[in-house]
Structures are given as structure tokens and as C-alpha cells.
Amino acid sequence: MVHIPRFHRGDAVRIAIVTQSYYPKPGGVTEVVHYSARELRRLGHRVTIITTNYSGLDAQSPGLRRIGRNMLVPVNGAWVNVTIALRMREKLERIFREEAIEIVQTHCPLVPTLPLSALRAAGRDLKVVGTFHAAAESNALYRLFRNVLDRRARRLDARIAVSEPAHAFASLYFPGQYEIIPNGIDCGRFSPSVSPIEEPESGSIRILYVGRMDQRKGVPYLLKAIPIAQRRLDAKIELLLVGEGELRSKLFPRPFRLHGAEIRTVGRVDPEQLPGYYRSADIVCSPATGRESFGIVLLEAMASEVPVIASDIPGFRRVISHGTDGLLVRPKDPAALAEAIVRLGVNRSYRKELGVMGRKKALQYDWSIIARRLEETFLRVLGKTSRHQTTPVRQSIG
């Protein structure tokens, strides 16, 4: 327990967080928005999340405003959320007025439609901070509309990139000053004290995959690695796949065995259940092939004190120190992935060591720490100074 300054009521900032990804839609940006808003509120600020509707039953609550409808569009090898709404700019302007917003944080600020509309709706009166998440070698949309989007980028009063790869990608098209503030993790929610959903079968090694079931996330390479590893291990491998995507219905309609290994799919799970799935695993594998700006899944596993095997790609390399708090392997290489699985599968003490060190690393990313960095950026952009009073707030949970 440490003492973190808390704002007097008169110093609180009214913040709008604009995002096209939010609950009930799972994903990294969804988690970032939810927990950054929670921590900023704990610091005394008033936060309004502005997002879209995914169905007619989406939850409405104080501090959460929804407009339009969501549509999925394939872009850059992934499915991107796009909001469809009539008079979107007018609706955003009305929300900004009703909530007396001072500063707007927009995630993926140059992506149609809601983020770009928020830039226009902010006008010249509101300060705007853009948070860039994507990482890739190129982007056709950015190339085609570079001049138009660059004018929008210059409207931003501050730019945040969640990692070095995200910074490199954004600055390739839109040069400027960026601040790197990584995504965070709730180290209380994801913790070694969480009870597992189910225990692995006695004498088996349970490997967990969490994420979208598509080619870019590397699921086919993991499936190729499992038989190779199984032939070298005495213990039976249980592969548990958590997530949705086109590969699930094509390849995994029901549980099956692969050269003695058991493969099971769970599909999408409730957020409340996800920590228990991590605690049910011996190893977490994230074999993504690239274009990952940051490893939220890696941090969730590490905070849960479960050892991680991940692809050696820039976004993951910023989270894992190979051999110290996780293992990195060549992407798209089933043999290398299998070798790492065997290495951990036969060495329980090494699994424990990596798990403990992973938890230690994850604590550095606890949301109570990351939110203070966001707060500092918002205050700097607004030109605000604040009187503080001291209130005990939990900074991180061991």
C-alpha cells in the first residue's frame, strides 16, 4: 500500500474516451479502455466512455454512452470494428456538451469512423489525445489517404503509442512527437491466488491458447507443433483453445485427438472466467505471426504466474525477456515452438521460475501505475496544475 495523490473535486478532469471496441466485444483495446477508465475514476476524474452498439441488448450505464451500430470490416489482415450511425458528428458534439468534456482520448484515432468523427466533433475547443495501437509493415488505407489523415493527425494535441512497434508504424505515415505509454494489466484480477476453472488431467501438460482463432494469430502453427512435442513427451498434452474466429468452425467443431494429444475449444468466455482459465494451465502459448503491437495476453498469463511461450516478434519482445520471464521462438516455426513446449514440459521447476519472474514483470504494468502516466499526459495537454491531498490507494498487488 502506497500513498498516491488524489485530486480535490475542483481539480478533476472531465475525460471522454472514444473507442470502437468495447464490451461485449472482447479484445485488447476493450480491456485497455475499461481499466484505464476505472483507474482514472479512482484518481478522482470524471470519465465518459463513448462507443458503439453491438446488439440491441448492449448495456447502458452512467459513464457509458453508445451511438450507432458496429460492423466488422476486413482491414490489414484483421477484422476492424467500424461504427455506422446517422449524424455521428452531431451526436458526439451533443455528448461532449452534455458531459462538459475537457479532453478527448480517442483510440486508433485515424481509423474510420467513430475515432475520426470524434476529431471533427472536438472542434478547436477541446483537447484531443490519440492512442495508437496498431503495428504492421504497411497499411493500404494509410497510403491511399495519407494526406487527408495527416491533416487529422496534426489536430491531435498529444500522441500516445502503446509500444515501440506501434510508434514505428504510426510515425512511418504520420511523423511527429509520440509518447510511449504501454497497455496495463489488472494484477488483482489476474493473479496466482485465483482458483482454476478446472484442473488438468493427472500427469498431463495443459497448454492454453487465448485469442482470435485465425491465421494471423498462428493457431495452425501451434497445431503443427503439438504432435512434434507429444512424440517427445511422456505426459499427454492437453491443448485448450479459448477464443472465436473463422478457424474454430472449420477445424475444431468438436474435441479431438492429435497423435495422442487432446484438443479442446472453449470459444468465447466471460471476462470473469478468463483468469481461472489461465490458472488452469501449465503453459500459455501465443504463436502470433506478426503485426502485434503489444502482448496483453502475455501479461495476463504472466500476472497469473503461468509461464509463456510466444513468437519472437517486436510487439512481444517488448514484454518478454527471453529465458528470464518467458520463452520466445521463431514465428511460423512449429519445430521451434515444439522444442520450447518440450523444454518446459519436462522441467516443472523451470516452469515455476518463469512464472514467478513473469509475475514480477507484470506488476510493473499494473493499471494503477499506467493510469498515472495517462493522467500526467492529460494534465500536461490541458496546462493544468493541481493541489493534492494524500489518499491511500493500492499501487500494485503482489
pLDDT tens figures, 174-218? 999 999 999 999 999 999 999 999 877 788 999 999 998 888 899
Return the pLDDT at 245: 67
User: pLDDT band at 396, cuts 50/70/90?
Assistant: very low
pLDDT over 70 percentage in the chain: 89
Return the pLDDT at 398: 33
pTM of the model: 0.84
d(CA 161, CA 170): 8
Return the pLDDT at 246: 63
pLDDT over threshold 80, residue 53? yes
| End-to-end CA gap in the chain | 10
Q: Residue ranges of the alpha helices (H) in 309-398?
A: 314-317, 334-345, 348-362, 367-382
Residues pairing with 265 in the sheet:
241
CA-based nearest residue to 358, from 268, 248, 284, 262: 284
User: pLDDT band at 80, cuts 50/70/90?
Assistant: confident
Q: What pLDDT digit, counting tens, does each position of 143-181 carry? A: 888 999 999 999 999 999 999 999 999 999 999 999 999
More confident of the two residues 198 and 53: 53
Long-range contacts formed by 357-361: CB under 8 A, 24+ apart: 357/324, 357/325, 358/301, 358/302, 358/303, 358/305, 358/306, 358/307, 358/308, 358/325, 358/326, 359/187, 359/192, 359/302, 359/303, 359/304, 359/305, 360/325, 361/302, 361/319, 361/320, 361/321, 361/325
Return the pLDDT at 291: 79
Look at strands 2-7 and 388-393 and give their pairing.
Answer: antiparallel
Whether the CB-CB separation of 289 and 218 falls below 8 Å is answered with yes
User: pLDDT band at 61, cuts 50/70/90?
Assistant: confident
Grid cell listed for 93: 458534439
Look at strands 14-18 and 2-7 and give their pairing.
Answer: unpaired
Average confidence (pLDDT) over 45-53: 97
pLDDT over threshold 80, residue 386? no
Grid cell listed for 367: 493499471
User: pLDDT band at 251, cuts 50/70/90?
Assistant: low
The 10 Å Cβ neighbour count of residue 72 is: 12
